């Protein structure tokens, strides 16, 4: 889902809801920023840098945790 938000394939409503939630939720804001940084990096290097997968996993894991208490 987070990947969808940061990709061009995200529909406007989902992206807007995620943005609105992230604006009030620090963990999600950080996770979203991390995911975007990851996405930009992957676009730039074409998937050659594997180290960023760790950052992506951390971001997605964080989102899963906070999503339990308040759906994004
Ligand atoms: Zn959140």
**pLDDT for residue 41 is more than 90:** no
From the CA of 48, how far away is ligand 1's center (Å)?
A: 30
Instruction: Convert the pLDDT of each residue in 20-31 to its tens digit.
Output: 999 999 999 999
> Does 72 map to a domain?
no
> Does 62 map to a domain?
yes
Return the structure tokens found at 26: 């620090």
From the CA of 72, how far away is ligand 1's center (Å)?
A: 6
From the CA of 13, how far away is ligand 1's center (Å)?
A: 17
Q: How many domains does the chain have?
A: 1
Average of per-residue pLDDT values in the chain = 76
User: Average pLDDT, stretch 43-63?
Assistant: 69
Its domain, for residue 34, covers 2-67
User: Which of 3-7, 41-45, 50-54 has the largest mean confidence?
Assistant: 41-45
> Does 33 map to a domain?
yes
Q: Confirm if 24 and 69 have CB atoms less than 8 A apart.
A: no
> Does 53 map to a domain?
yes
């Amino acid at each position: 889902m987070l990947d969808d938000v940061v990709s061009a394939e995200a529909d406007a409503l989902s992206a807007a809801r995620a943005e609105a939630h992230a604006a009030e939720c620090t963990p999600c804001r950080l996770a979203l920023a991390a995911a975007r940084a990851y996405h930009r990096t992957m676009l730039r290097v074409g998937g050659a840098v594997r180290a960023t997968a760790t950052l992506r996993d951390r971001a997605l894991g964080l989102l899963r945790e906070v999503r339990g208490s308040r759906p994004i």
